[in-house]
Structure 1
């Protein structure tokens, strides 16, 4: 079993934890590896019915077994359970710690779940971070099939493709049922495919609505579903002031390249696709690294000027700023430095200018450090910055 970096942080937390993450990222496996005294699964009809039909069930279970650690999987399916947990935690007689998992913040909000502010930490689990694989990973394979644990441990290519293709179908079916969108299955499916096709671009509801044949308001509502179910994530524009930040539009990324390719029914990282797939992979890796970090104040954004100068990612963490350009190439030249030079002039302060590429040699060009992408995560961020 792959050891997740988040495991130690979960063990260190004295308070209860709500662990959110997209489906199949390994939340259940991770929490199960912590050897809970009691495990309940709200996706299991037997546990769900017991908890839903018997309001005293959880209280009786805690009173009889006096567990130190209780794991409740898919908690968003029964939002009421958060109120029961609050009563147990406030009583404090048994010193019980809860681990809850969920894949949809939307369902928790819709069910008016009490997320226990001050009593429970909310944490996130992404697909695998390259460090969890010992920094040994074939880049082309990751671009094609992503970083979900079940995919990375599956050796058969046909089975990988089948699993990733079925991910989209399962997601569509369950979210359509949850949102009462059965009449809209065709247009939601079209929207999902076009949203995947424009992955890693500036979020433009006008374009998405036009391509999908739906109203802008509907496109905005559908994208909100993608965000709330953690399928897609916004990357906000960088600015030196919050006021200026608000007038620019975010970019967005799907959470995994394999799931993205499954939606597009194309698992070939061809030359015309490789750049955006590599950018998406790096976004996922940066996000995973931040989520594994103890620094909750880390922030990830992107830089773009009205004249077209751009830097893919700006990472702010522990008082340091990294301007990161991503190149799906084994050759880097002076022409690749223009965006970083533009950002340096705009920012006006000391920062680390970085290019991550698919080559194998670390080097320096002017004031820019050029890294093989996994070496950057291993030697710079994991060891020194975080």
Structure 2
């Protein structure tokens, strides 16, 4: 028998360290050559590590969420006979299998959290029961054996109001500790808050959940890091305006009524078409800022990032050259990319290179949002929920479909005047949707 130390191999692209995202084995497990043993995440990819030899796992580098250096021990394996070092060096080089769906630095915007919970069952401290002085035998005040049995205790003293309340709540007053000579409402409150640990819940009460400790690892750690970097480095400002969506919603209904075999249109393809048309006069918004080099790149093509909720967290697949697609092509590509992000089949190219991001909460909507910029971009657009509300037009009240549209910008690159002017241009296209089909 001999032991083989499997070191974390060089994954490439100058990576110096990686995070252990998931162990597929534990100490004592027997693995075969090429069995998957761990997933590790770098700034560029999630990588599947495979066992270079068959044997018994006798050592692990750390816990899930730990960061380890390239070249340091990942696992220690006990193997039969001697280890062929030359052969294993070749195997190590091929033991890292990249996950295609996460090849690139993942672009994220803030949203709802999806975290795998660790098994964590901390002992719950119990509240010590202190006997009353009258319950302790005078013959031996230090002896618990001298305390009378529960069925020998006298009837607890309480006012009729306290007794009625306890009966309504289903509380046995013999279990309630009095701070004075008789049980008061405050004693009953204390019991309900701290002493009802035997499965008791008053009617209508919500069952208390145990505290949980959740280690922030993998995708959620990357989201946290990117959001902190964005807020730390970018001076955000947000602007919100109200848009009358009645005309474009009527147009969408007409288009869906004549769509033939094509998929039903949502509002997003029309929104994206308007975003692209309005950007022609505001190139400073379709840009990325390299603050270390001191360069702003104003992009000619609109590569639109679309915030998409997945079971791993919020991912941003990229709708490339959105300015060249018609509304039906946009609708098809939106559906394809969203599905690829959710099932993990999105490629590296589909997850990188956005020049502007659109984040929509769909029917959740809200009144207004202040979205966080997807660094190194300089702007992010957030349409909110469309709501039918009264609106005064020419002195008369009309029911209109109104929506607030939010935009957040990097104040180092975009002035408030430019952001407001762009939203007004976007508003003009959305409120006069026939212009979306004009050259």
Pairwise TM-score range, normalised by the shorter structure: under 0.3
Higher strand share: 2
User: Normalising to structure 1: TM-score of the pair?
Assistant: 0.26
Larger radius of gyration between Structure 1 and Structure 2: 2
Higher helix share: 1
